[in-house]
Structure 1
Amino acid sequence: MPTLWSSSRDRRMRRWSLTCVVVLALGLTPFAPSASASGRGTLDVPPTAATRATLPAPFTGSVDDFYVVPHPLPAGARGDIIRMQAVDAGGSRTGWRVMYHSVDEAGHDRAVTGIVTIPNAPPPDGGWPVVAYAHGTTGISPSCAPSRGPSLPYPFGIEGVFAQTDYIGLGPVGELHPYLQREAEANAVLDSVRAAHNIAGAAVGNDWFLVGGSQGGHAAIAANEDAVTELPEYRLLGTVALVPGAEVTRDFDDPVQVGIIMAFAIFGNSQDSPDLDPHELFTPEAYDALVGPMTTQCAGEGIVAAIPFALAGTLFRPGVEDLPQVVAWRERNEVARRRGESPLFVAGGVKDITVVIARVRALRESLCAIGQPLTYVEAPEGDHNTTGVIVAAQAIEWLRARAAGEPLESDCPDVEPTTTTTAPTTTTAPTTTTTPSTTTSTTIDSSTTSTTTSQSTTTTLQAPTSTTAGSGTSTTSSSSPAVVNAAGERSGGAVSPAVAADAVTAQPSYTG
């Protein structure tokens, strides 16, 4: 029986595993569009005078120099801006590459980089919401930070201030990213929201949303769990986790994938956790082949270097999986251990061979066990790179429903429906109208459909249309997942809007 650290030697497993790693190697684009070339805009609503006084002057040096962390770090609270550099975010937004204060797992002050973009339009009453984005795997080297591109956050249908963290250790020169370190990921995400407030000042309000894909799904769930205690000053309305890399304490007959993921984790966490010494955990041959690509290049090069060892089951020394420090690392970096502040939208792809569907289904069970309000969907044709595209319209509609304060009936059978009372939040759309509207919402339970009607005045997309799923598989139990087909249609009687089609097709692939 293959374990986390070895693989079956039969031909079928080798072919399947090679397919997995090739998919990983070819899909290494962060789940966000690139910056446009339409010119930098200006912020019509500047920060307040009090906030502006805390901001440093814009950094005018080179991009490479931006990532050299000041030593010693200037004093500052979590989310305070250390450095900011203008980036092109398109004509309708003002963009900043930022370096801000956060804390790592040990509570040490760390400089973290990322991107914040702000609409140039006047904010709505109450200010813009923040949409925080947690990206998928890019690697563990400083050169792999999405903000270096920059790769800009994707709004998921909500118009607001966008914040995308690089995570701790990605970006700053001389560091390594502690890959899948739960607390460090969560802190970086939560403090990116504070950074967005510091940059945007009076233009931003108290509400925020959180979206993550793959590794970012793990980070998003962790941040949702911690938000109520670590970011109590702002209100998290909804969290989306797409093909989330979770259930790290369990194996799902996916040894090659998990072996490569753990290789990144060991190299990345070794800087902060000396007991995870790569010299002692990898075989000598694997260490020599992986140390360069893993620590100085990005995910694609690291994966390619690890392929032959993962297939042969020779990445790690015998018995590594049972070492106390390895067991402890997996335990403390698990998510779904306590109920989060906001409802969750979780999506998995049935054809995903990176984060296999059994892993996502197990996560769903864990979330239901702790009473987490949850919408759970599966894309029957979705793999690791396409599931986010397939379910994007559904996720957008779900976030808008949370913004409107519509009730959510959880897909977990014993979880009470939740309702958030909130002012209408502006949503992004191909076409917009501002009209009083009657909104019919469909509850989330996949086997029964009920509707509620609410009156609101907001700037919205053209009204979504309900469509009966043509190729999705209907569900018959409240504990069964809703199914989304390639057209974004959800079975079980729920809505399937043909909204933001251009936004869906514009999303590139992302990694684990």
Structure 2
Amino acid sequence: MNSRWGRVRYVGVCVAVVSVFGIGISACASTPGGDSTAGTPSSTVSSTSVVLSAEAVEQRGEIVRTDDAPDSWSLPYGTVAKRLVYRSTSGVDGSTTAVSGAVFVPGSTPPAGGWPLIAYAHGTTGITPDCAPSDQADMFGDLTAVQDFLDAGYAVVTTDYQGLGTRTGRQAPHPYLEPRTAAFNVIDAARAAQSAGLGISSRWLAAGRSQGGAAVWATAEEFAGYGGGSGELLGVVAVAPLLDPRYFATRAQENTLTRAQQHLYPLVVHGVSQADPAVKPGDHLSALNSSAVPVCGDDRTALSSLSVPAHTSLGAVTPEAAQTLHARLAAYTLPRTATKVPILAVYGTADNVIPLDVMEDTLRRACEAGDQVLSVRQEQQGHIVDPGPAMANWVRDRVAGLPVPSNC
């Protein structure tokens, strides 16, 4: 299997990059040059559980509708592809939601027991309904990710996440970086795929990068309580996962955000405000020409249309506003709880989106909690980090049932 890490698509300030196993993203471009300023001290993290009604439990993963794949999607010959709308759950209030996505199976004969499944969680595209990859002509570049998984002999299901998607009707907004909602959306996508009648196995893995990396990490943590009936989750692959976003609030106040972090910051503020009205974008983005919610366009992510002038100060207008944002981001911080689901975490030492010390402190806390984590540190690589052969080998070994490695 050939690596496709050379295939890079630039869109404004954003990039889409694809790995040997297709971990494609749309996210802020970052350039080499480490930023290891320490994150904020630990804060109390909310672990309040949402309460689901019996009806909500029954509906999880239920397919609401399917559509044929658009003609614009270029896929390996014989691939069966369907766009989906399925039932999921808000991690904010426990309400039943409709989420869009897509499912793909290879065009060859499935193995005994069905196609092992990859639930793919995409990177940052935006926070408005027009930012769903499955509504786009090439899924914001994620089709290359899907192709790689298919070529390796896996079925794939993608989720657009709650609030992203034009095929779901009027829905609750997208709570950007809120981990429980993202986890529920990933798990219910796997449920939907397994019920689609496409020969998909009940054995599955989840993979994602950046926002998606946090989504699959949360999937591992939430699986014990929410994953019943979704088969066997063999492991998750989190590439450059944005697990602890508290540093955004701290560095905005210090005026030490990197350029990549500055471009992402408006989405962080607006996205958090969509789940918590106490966070008011005008309190944090007053230095920008517009405080409007960033939107996506035809095959363009919200990040590609954002313009944050260099040397812009993005500090909150009051210390109280800064603390409110910091507290909400603290409630989103992972890890929250130990998990028995194995985790492969891949990160670069020159990541200008996620500071190296924040990433390594996060992984240390996961190990101290007892997680089975194999951390792969790639020297001199940035946010668009290449996992190399580690990811393909780790996924193959989980499907084969081999012992789980850990370097905690």
Output the TM-score relative to the length of structure 2. Answer: 0.75
**AA partner of residue 142 (structure 1):** P
Aligned-residue offset at 1:314: 3.4
1:397 equivalent among 364, 384, 393:
393
Aligned-residue offset at 1:28: 3.1
**AA partner of residue 345 (structure 1):** L
Aligned-residue offset at 1:370: 0.7
Give the Cα–Cα distance (whole angstroms) in 2 for the partners of residues 128 and 226 of structure 1. Answer: 24
Aligned-residue offset at 1:75: 12
User: What is the match of residue 163 of structure 1?
Assistant: 157
Give the Cα–Cα distance (whole angstroms) in 2 for the partners of residues 261 and 33 of structure 1. Answer: 20
User: What is the match of residue 319 of structure 1?
Assistant: 319
Instruction: Count matched residues.
Output: 341
- Please list every run of 5 or more consecutive structure 2 residues that lacks an aligned counterpart in the other structure: 1-9, 25-55
Question: Within 5 Å, which residues of 2 pair with 1:84-103?
Answer: 84-87=66-69, 88=73, 89-103=75-89
Once the two structures are superposed, what CA deviation does each residue of 1:177-214 show, in whole Å capped at 9, x if it has no partner?
2211111111111111011112135x122210111111
User: What is the match of residue 337 of structure 1?
Assistant: 336
Per mean C-alpha deviation after superposition, the further-off stretch among 209-218 and 263-272 is 263-272
Give the Cα–Cα distance (whole angstroms) in 1 for the partners of residues 65 and 57 of structure 2. Answer: 13
User: What is the match of residue 346 of structure 1?
Assistant: 345
Give the Cα–Cα distance (whole angstroms) in 1 for the partners of residues 23 and 214 of structure 2. Answer: 21
Question: Within 5 Å, which residues of 2 pair with 1:70-85?
Answer: 77-85=59-67
Once the two structures are superposed, what CA deviation does each residue of 1:399-457 show, in whole Å capped at 9, x if it has no partner?
11111121123101xxxxxxxxxxxxxxxxxxxxxxxxxxxxxxxxxxxxxxxxxxxxx
Question: Which of these two proteins has the greater Rg computed from alpha carbons?
Answer: 1
Give the Cα–Cα distance (whole angstroms) in 2 for the partners of residues 354 and 255 of structure 1. Answer: 9
User: What is the match of residue 302 of structure 2?
Assistant: 299
Give the Cα–Cα distance (whole angstroms) in 2 for the partners of residues 186 and 108 of structure 1. Answer: 15
User: What SS class does the counterpart of residue 246 from structure 2 fall into?
Assistant: coil
User: What SS class does the counterpart of residue 312 from structure 1 fall into?
Assistant: coil
Aligned-residue offset at 1:33: 8.8
User: What is the match of residue 442 of structure 1?
Assistant: none
Taking only the aligned residue pairs, the percentage that are identical comes to 26
Give the Cα–Cα distance (whole angstroms) in 1 for the partners of residues 23 and 116 of structure 2. Answer: 20
**AA partner of residue 155 (structure 2):** V
The question of whether the paired residues in 2 share the 8 Å contact of 1:241 and 1:344 is answered with yes
Once the two structures are superposed, what CA deviation does each residue of 1:364-394 show, in whole Å capped at 9, x if it has no partner?
1111111111111111131222x1xx32421
User: What SS class does the counterpart of residue 116 from structure 2 fall into?
Assistant: strand
Structure with greater contact order relative to length (CA < 8 Å, sep ≥ 6): 2
The question of whether the paired residues in 1 share the 8 Å contact of 2:267 and 2:294 is answered with no
Give the Cα–Cα distance (whole angstroms) in 1 for the partners of residues 211 and 326 of structure 2. Answer: 20
Give the Cα–Cα distance (whole angstroms) in 2 for the partners of residues 354 and 283 of structure 1. Answer: 19
The question of whether the paired residues in 2 share the 8 Å contact of 1:179 and 1:265 is answered with yes
Q: Does 1:364 align with 2:350?
A: no
The question of whether the paired residues in 2 share the 8 Å contact of 1:267 and 1:295 is answered with no
The question of whether the paired residues in 2 share the 8 Å contact of 1:132 and 1:211 is answered with yes
User: What SS class does the counterpart of residue 362 from structure 1 fall into?
Assistant: helix
Cα distance, 1:362–1:156 mapped onto 2, change above 3 Å: farther
Give the Cα–Cα distance (whole angstroms) in 2 for the partners of residues 352 and 81 of structure 1. Answer: 38
Question: Within 5 Å, which residues of 2 pair with 1:491-502?
Answer: none
Per mean C-alpha deviation after superposition, the further-off stretch among 190-199 and 152-161 is 152-161
Per mean C-alpha deviation after superposition, the further-off stretch among 359-368 and 130-139 is 359-368
Output the TM-score relative to the length of structure 1. Answer: 0.61
The question of whether the paired residues in 2 share the 8 Å contact of 1:78 and 1:103 is answered with yes
